[in-house]
């Protein structure tokens, strides 16, 4: 599914789900909990392996691993482990559902997920969302958002992007011209043109379109988007732009944003680390250091503590220093 990128979590060699299940049970049995054992198993297995461990745990002990983890841990450490134990598609669905539940909507989550995934991934999430929540993701998105942003998410939700990887330089020139006419060359903005091109063209073709645009105008399309749009739709279009030009940098910026300033957005930190650890976290770490001058590990160290911190270290492929 992911031909691009270097993960930090890879399938454990000599994997033995039965042994892992017994070791987890031992770590939680009796008085106190051996958190290090939980980290060493749960954070050093792939999502697929974790599902197998949970099946064995239930078979051998008649207990639900997630429920046991919930009763033995708390706070962000619990949140992280429970997130890791969910099948990845269920995890994405829960994040989307949480983003839309209650008062207000966390548009950033909708952008981070829908603007970065492939057609197949979006379709899988849509089907599972319906199974889990008895509602269509698309109609939920429509009722939670409005205007241009709603139209952008609806386009992305149809998962109709061309994924052939074929490039056509002539078409790229035409599309770049259309974007110019729809934005900087007119009063007001024809957002539907941006929507259509950025949601339908394949990534390789978009790279070419962005180069053509820069050649015609002397500045990046990102700069034009910032000038022509504002709010959530601007953030969404920029996320697509960044994912086309450098996906690792996009996710590095999400991690940075989660930890920058006062306080930490742990939900965001956890989500990015869970969802990218098996895809391209090694690349994201390199991008982070390149963009911010300090290692991701040093930022995690400054923003988190205890078992939670050590679990994050394991997931991003870093050794414990203390």
Q: What value does the mean pLDDT take over residues 104-128?
A: 95
User: pLDDT tens, 205-260?
Assistant: 999 999 999 999 999 999 999 999 999 999 999 999 999 999 999 999 999 999 99
Residue 135 pLDDT greater than 50, yes or no: yes
CATH number for the region 17-85 comes to: 1.10.220.10
Radius of gyration of the chain (CA): 21
Per-residue confidence band for 322, with pLDDT thresholds at 50, 70 and 90 = low
CATH fold of the domain at 169-245: Annexin V; domain 1 (1.10.220)
Three-state SS at 135: coil
Q: What value does the mean pLDDT take over residues 296-306?
A: 97
Residue 25 pLDDT greater than 60, yes or no: yes
CATH number for the region 88-158 comes to: 1.10.220.10
pTM, entire model? 0.94
- Domain limits, the chain: 17-85, 88-158, 169-245, 252-316
| Residues 98, 106: Cα–Cα separation, whole Å | 8
Q: What value does the mean pLDDT take over residues 24-41?
A: 95
The per-residue DSSP string of 21-42 comes to HHHHHHHHSSSS--HHHHHHHH
Fill in the DSSP letter of residue 203.
Answer: H
CATH number for the region 252-316 comes to: 1.10.220.10
- pLDDT at position 260 is 96
| Topology alike, domains 17-85 and 169-245 | yes
| Residues 2, 279: Cα–Cα separation, whole Å | 6
- pLDDT at position 4 is 73
Residue 87 pLDDT greater than 50, yes or no: yes
- pLDDT at position 3 is 60
- Cα–Cα nearest to 153, from 98, 113, 183: 113
| Residues 135, 228: Cα–Cα separation, whole Å | 34
Decide which of 104 and 108 is more confident.
108
Per-residue confidence band for 130, with pLDDT thresholds at 50, 70 and 90 = very high
Measured in residues, the chain has a length of: 322
Residue 271 pLDDT greater than 60, yes or no: yes
Residue with token string 């839309």: 100
Do residues 189 and 234 make contact, with C-beta atoms less than 8 angstroms apart? no
């Amino acid at each position: 599914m992911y031909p691009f990128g270097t993960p930090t979590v890879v399938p454990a060699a000599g994997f033995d789900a039965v042994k892992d299940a017994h070791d987890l049970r031992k770590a939680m049995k009796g008085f106190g909990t051996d958190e290090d054992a939980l980290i060493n198993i749960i954070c050093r297995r792939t999502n697929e392996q974790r599902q197998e461990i949970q099946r064995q745990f239930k078979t051998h002990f008649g207990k639900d691993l997630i429920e046991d983890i919930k009763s033995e841990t708390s706070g962000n450490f619990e949140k992280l482990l429970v997130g890791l134990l969910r099948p990845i598609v269920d995890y994405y669905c829960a994040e989307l559902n949480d983003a839309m539940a209650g008062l207000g909507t966390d548009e950033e989550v909708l952008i981070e997920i829908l603007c970065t995934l492939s057609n197949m991934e979006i379709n899988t999430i849509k089907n599972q969302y319906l199974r889990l929540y008895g509602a269509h993701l698309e109609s939920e998105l429509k009722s939670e958002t409005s205007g241009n942003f709603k139209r952008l998410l609806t386009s992305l939700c149809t998962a109709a992007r061309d994924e052939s990887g074929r490039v056509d330089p002539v078409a790229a020139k035409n599309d770049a011209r259309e974007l110019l006419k729809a934005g900087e060359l007119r009063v007001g903005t024809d957002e539907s043109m941006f929507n259509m091109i950025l949601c339908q063209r394949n990534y390789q073709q978009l790279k070419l379109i962005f180069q053509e645009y820069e050649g015609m105008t002397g500045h990046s399309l990102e700069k034009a988007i910032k000038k022509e749009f504002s709010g959530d739709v601007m953030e969404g279009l920029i996320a697509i732009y960044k994912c086309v030009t450098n996906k690792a940098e996009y996710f590095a910026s999400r991690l940075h944003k989660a930890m920058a300033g006062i306080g930490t957005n742990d939900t965001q930190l956890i989500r990015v680390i869970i969802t990218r650890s098996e895809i391209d976290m090694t690349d994201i770490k390199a991008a982070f250091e390149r963009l911010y001058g300090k290692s991701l590990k040093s930022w995690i160290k400054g923003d988190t503590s205890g078992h939670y911190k050590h679990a994050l270290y394991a997931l991003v492929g870093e050794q414990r220093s203390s």
